[in-house]
């Protein structure tokens, strides 16, 4: 009964999302307050029921928080939980299911020296014609980066709405030339998967390179097309670049891992979900043990590479679903990690919608076929290699890809470290483009990791 009610609630909310706003129009302050009280009561009941650390919640007065999402955030166990969040339902639908992003389309990062660089520029984004990877930002809207506060930088670079102008002064990569450009934020379809590349190794063998940025619903077709191409090219090695992939739908992660490992892992455990002590029936329910699959979400056969080894390029933004790919493959194939420590998120959520708000409380922990998830502090790389902004992604000279190619030929990490540039990346104020990952196992149920 509970499952049917949830499904119905989700469908009703989705249908109304374009017709009404939060609280409705013309409501009195009293009715608005009453609505918020109802929402806050629901939030507390929801966390008390499904939250992984429900028994560690510290009670705070609901009246101290203006909105239900604020109250939700205040109840989270921050000593354990860096990842639970909520956002308007419309944003969850457009971002997670539609692959839409609003902004400039750049992943920015700080160097150890405090200098700001562009890590990645989405080819579909407003910034694509003006900014390239490795561009160093010197000033934002006339404010020198060296003297700007972090809140100013984040607010300026991640506006969250369309039509916001941005004036950048930046240094062109590899030169001393400084340019000024104006960009306006827009909503665009994100490039979650870039075209796969073929690299020829010594003796004529072939390696594939695949840059994968987000595990969204819109990623499925592009991933399948990329792997199909790699299979046609008969690649014997694969470099999977997940350095900027902070998560998405778990079913996408399962399909990717299945295509990499191939027929030898079919039917074996990819990830088993463990719920809190109030819900042992879910932990022992077979539907929450995900095995490697031979089919996509529509039942069509997946292309299989059948590799015994895979190289994964990682960094601090390799998170959640991306870590699930690594963890799920580890018992079955050799996984060589090149780059930096991953973010450390073996947890996931079931998206739950209430009054036009989507809540993503951590509800489960995911373990692999060995029953392990030993990466709460992140996966340590096999070969530590700093990110290299001096070369484009996919270029064999780029430090992390070059290290992977060296390992292929020598069976060990390169003798010296590569370039040392950015240490950490800024993240969007709205975490929708970051560590969201969902898996759809039955209608109306969405697993987010």
- Cβ atoms of residues 420 and 387 within 8 Å: no
Instruction: Quote the CA–CA distance of 248 and 320 in Å, as a whole number.
Output: 8
Mean pLDDT of residues grouped by 10 in the chain (449 residues)? 30 24 39 83 98 98 96 98 93 84 90 84 96 95 93 89 96 92 96 96 93 95 98 97 94 97 96 97 96 96 98 95 98 97 95 94 97 96 92 94 96 72 34 24 41
| H or E segment to which residue 352 belongs | strand 352-354
Measured at the CA of 329, the angle between CA 326 and CA 330, to 5 degrees, comes to 85
Residues in the chain: 449
| H or E segment to which residue 364 belongs | strand 362-367
Amino acid 53: pLDDT: 98
The residues pairing with 289 across neighbouring beta strands, listed in sequence order, are 272
Supply φ then ψ for residue 8, to 5 degrees: -65, -40
Its pTM stands at 0.85
Q: Three-state DSSP class for 15?
A: helix
Q: Which tokens sit at 40? A: 């806050």
Alpha carbon 246 to its chain centroid, in Å, reads: 3
In the chain, what are the domains? 102-189 (2.30.42.10), 197-448 (3.90.226.10)
> In sequence order, which residues have a C-beta less than 8 Å from that of residue 219 and are 6 or more positions away?
99, 192, 193, 212, 248, 252
Convert the pLDDT of each residue in 56-95 to its tens digit: 999 999 999 999 999 999 999 999 999 999 999 998 888 8
Q: Which tokens sit at 448? A: 């987010």
Amino acid 221: pLDDT: 96
Task: Count CA atoms within 13 Å of residue 185 on its CB side.
Answer: 17
Amino acid 2: pLDDT: 35
Instruction: Quote the CA–CA distance of 324 and 347 in Å, as a whole number.
Output: 9
Amino acid 24: pLDDT: 33
Instruction: Quote the CA–CA distance of 84 and 74 in Å, as a whole number.
Output: 11
In this structure, the number of other CB atoms found within 10 A of the CB of residue 386 comes to 18
């Amino acid at each position: 009964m509970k499952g049917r009610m949830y499904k119905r609630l989700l469908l009703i909310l989705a249908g109304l999302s374009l017709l009404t706003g939060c609280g409705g129009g013309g409501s009195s302050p009293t009715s608005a307050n009453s609505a918020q009280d109802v929402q806050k009561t629901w939030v507390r009941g929801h966390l008390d029921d499904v939250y992984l650390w429900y028994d560690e919640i510290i009670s705070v007065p609901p009246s101290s928080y203006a909105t239900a999402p604020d109250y939700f955030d205040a109840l989270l166990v921050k000593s354990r939980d860096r990842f639970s969040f909520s956002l308007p339902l419309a944003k969850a639908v457009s971002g997670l299911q539609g692959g839409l992003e609003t902004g400039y389309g750049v992943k920015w990062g700080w160097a150890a020296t405090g200098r700001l660089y562009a890590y990645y520029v989405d080819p579909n984004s407003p910034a694509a014609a003006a900014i390239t990877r490795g561009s160093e930002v010197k000033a934002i809207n006339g404010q020198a980066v060296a003297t700007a506060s972090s809140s100013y930088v984040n607010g300026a670079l991640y506006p969250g709405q369309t039509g916001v102008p941005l004036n950048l002064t930046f240094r062109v990569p590899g030169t001393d030339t400084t340019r000024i450009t104006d960009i306006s934020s827009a909503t665009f379809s994100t490039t979650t998967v870039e075209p796969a590349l073929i690299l020829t190794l010594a003796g004529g063998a072939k390696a594939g390179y695949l840059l994968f940025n987000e595990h969204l619903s819109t990623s499925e077709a592009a991933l399948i097309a990329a792997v199909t191409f790699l299979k046609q090219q008969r690649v014997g090695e694969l470099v999977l670049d997940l350095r900027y992939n902070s998560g998405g739908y778990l079913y996408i992660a399962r399909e990717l891992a299945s295509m990499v490992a191939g027929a030898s892992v079919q039917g074996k455990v990819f990830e088993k979900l463990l719920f809190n002590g109030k819900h042992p029936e879910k932990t022992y329910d077979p539907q929450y043990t995900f095995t490697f699959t031979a089919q996509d979400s529509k039942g069509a056969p997946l292309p299989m590479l059948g590799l015994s080894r895979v190289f994964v390029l990682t960094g601090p933004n390799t998170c959640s679903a991306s870590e699930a790919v690594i963890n799920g493959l580890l018992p079955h194939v050799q996984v060589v990690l090149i780059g930096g420590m991953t973010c450390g998120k073996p947890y996931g959520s079931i998206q739950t919608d209430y009054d036009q708000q989507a809540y993503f409380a951590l509800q489960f922990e995911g373990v692999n076929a060995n029953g392990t998830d030993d990466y709460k502090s992140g996966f340590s790389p096999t070969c530590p290699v700093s990110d290299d902004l001096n070369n484009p992604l996919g270029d064999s000279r780029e430090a992390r890809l070059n290290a992977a190619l060296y390992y292929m030929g020598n069976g060990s990490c390169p003798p010296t470290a590569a370039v040392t540039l950015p240490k950490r990346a800024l993240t969007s104020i709205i975490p929708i483009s970051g560590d969201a990952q969902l898996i759809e196992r039955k209608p109306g149920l969405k697993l987010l990791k």
